[in-house]
Structure 1
């Protein structure tokens, strides 16, 4: 029966995650000879963020740990079919990337109780599905601080992909951080209903810019790429998401909310050995280095502003600032 054993405790995993840097590979002499499968989220490889980061983590595990992996993309939404293709290979672990694959992954997991699964960006109660979620709201808070301190118009924008709980976390943290830095800041928010439409992202960005927004934060995949490029075209600032997207628009991207999916995936694979069937639910925030803020570029923060940003991060980690993961909507 192929069930994962996670010999490392959660505290050890967090230590690994916090200390691991991709530009400082670990020396490895052991090959786990594990086989890993991954179903990428809607937009697939080449998104410059979420999918590419997870893939990078598996490539590193292949190169340093000797594991083998296979992957599938499902641009047509045929998640169940692709997961079944991976399950038929009798792998040690199958990863479903993104909340949109959750329903299909849980169905396939229930049909294959001896196969282990990992859901990234969602929480599952299915016995053979582990869960990994990120506290996007914590690092988004820091993006909001930078946005409010950078804005000259007093208006900033947020563009979400789908109107979903995970994207609400980005908006909630961003909004809270902006108001923390400037209680008078105005935040415009729109939801595209699509992660794969760059043209729609351009349109939404234009609408927000026409409303005087001079800093945009899209959490919307390829749709967000369109928004970032429009920000650059219009000469305003933007923030990237999931990975460091500075190179998408080097005249616009001030910073990025980074999910260290690559590090998390690598460290989980490293922790894979044969044995028990314990299920684990990972929740990774600033304290665990699961999320972080990319370097701030293009703008010079004052000494006071830099201190405020550093202090906010410390207070989130210490618990002195509790960042909301959902906005209160309506009265």
Structure 2
């Protein structure tokens, strides 16, 4: 975007483009990101003008981001899978700000890019502990989408958290290679249930539908990700909060306040309960206290978890 185009924006109007690679109604990461956009719109009202593109596959992300960058002063990529394309497009639009929700540490970021690390491994450890407390069979499972470091680290730490509560717990971990593949997620969950798992965790988008189908058919339960939706579906007995929507709103609020900053920023437990936490839907006071102690121990460094 040219300087002249930027100058053309009304001083009191914010123009923000958002790329949601999956479905905004996936009950997962993408929906949480969309919820953050809706919250920002509600907060800022007509001052905020947004353009959203959803359901874009990896090969088309660069084109979608170019479209957004040509018309907006801030572009937000919802998901670490947008990072490579954001870093490339941002170099062509030096006057546009870019924020990546799920940005990873160590990336060579241009001076107009911010990467927000949700630190999924932290809360996955806590979710694993909750799963072990909630399991009646002494077996739990995890299904991830793409087998990339942040997703693998979350699976590893979910298992570590479960074993911290019950050293003898059985843990089944699998990856579908696709966040949106319903049949593969169902197949993986059915296989874990056949081996005794009765509580399941995930980092999936639309693939979650497959986990839901398996859990419904076999009368097991799910710990959901990203947003606390306790009370909306008895299939879910807990939720990990990873602040995807919170980070979308954070980027927009920073733009509105004139305080937007580029570079890597860690969120996670250190940024408070809106950024990261666990909600056990019918948790006992003892269970909640134990999980809070685990969170505190992660923050203090007493419990060490993987990056990402």
The TM tier, using the shorter chain, reads 0.7 to 0.9
Structure 1 counterpart of 2:238, from 255, 258, 264: 255
CA apart distance, 1:273: 5.1
Equivalent residue number for residue 15 of structure 2: 35
Matches within 5 A, 1:96-135: 96-123=77-104, 124=107, 125-135=109-119
Aligned pair count reads 293
- Are 2:203 and 1:219 equivalent residues in the alignment? yes
Gaps of 5+ in 1: 5-30, 327-331
Equivalent residue number for residue 322 of structure 1: 304
Change (3 A) 1:74 1:214: closer
Change (3 A) 1:219 1:281: same
Equivalent residue number for residue 21 of structure 1: none
Equivalent residue number for residue 53 of structure 2: 72
Structure 2 counterpart of 1:140, from 116, 120, 124: 124
CA apart distance, 1:307: 3.4
CA apart distance, 1:32: 4.3
Change (3 A) 1:153 1:278: closer
CA apart distance, 1:246: 4.8
CA apart distance, 1:193: 0.7
Structure in which a larger fraction of residues adopt helix: 2
- Are 2:214 and 1:235 equivalent residues in the alignment? no
TM superposition score normalised by structure 1:
0.81
TM superposition score normalised by structure 2:
0.86
Corresponding residue SS for 2:206: helix
2:33 and 2:152 map into 1 onto residues whose CA distance is 22
Equivalent residue number for residue 11 of structure 1: none
Change (3 A) 1:127 1:213: same
Gaps of 5+ in 2: none
Contact 2:20/2:56, CA 8 A, preserved across alignment: no
- Are 2:246 and 1:266 equivalent residues in the alignment? no
